[in-house]
Amino acid sequence: MNPQGSASLKAELLGAIPSLRAFAMSLSGNIDRADDLVQETLVKAWSNLGSFTEGTNMSAWLFTILRNIFYSEYRKRRREVADPEGQIAARLASAPSQNSHMDFLDFQNALQQLSPDQREALILVGASGMSYEEAADICGCAVGTMKSRVNRARNRLGQLLSTAADGEFDGDSIWNPAEPAMEKMLRAGE
């Protein structure tokens, strides 16, 4: 069959428009949406006219197309979340990961500049979450010595990272997922 269809198919297609419009209106309940559904149906039917078998029920074929379009869009819209102000989308944004990667490299570099005993104390207490007592047992030193090492390591790391000596980070900087880990290590022992 000719992909563009015969003249009788075209006439049958055009003749079905009022019925399609009424059906679309009954499904959507909105005249503008109904007109859009009819238009989408006609476009889809016209582009697939070659698959229609002449002599079968054109109206049934068109109604099926319209119904399928309506329910496909309904399922799609059901999963959508209304966000007219863009507030939800704004919360989904994430900061670029390059900054956090570079910050982490700076942190690693600063950590390597600590003396071995300070670095060990900070990693055991800050990163591993051990108590001062557990860390002191592992290092073979007194608990007071361990606390002193952690405190000196935190202060030195803060200086190396150009932060305040108390380990606070600038609150108005760009969000950085590496900061909580660094801050946890700096605050270890408080």
Give the DSSP per-residue string, 86-128.
Answer: SHHHHHH----HHHHHHHHHHHHHHHHHS-HHHHHHHIIIIIS
Residues 171, 168: Cα–Cα separation, whole Å: 8
Q: What is the pLDDT of residues 5-46, one digit of tens each?
A: 578 888 888 899 999 999 999 888 889 999 999 999 999 998
Smallest CA-to-CA distance from 121 within 152, 96, 93, 100 is with 152
pTM to 2 decimal places: 0.42
Q: pLDDT tens digits for 46-71? A: 898 888 887 888 889 999 999 999 99
State the Cα–Cα distance between residues 153 and 157, nearest whole angstrom: 6
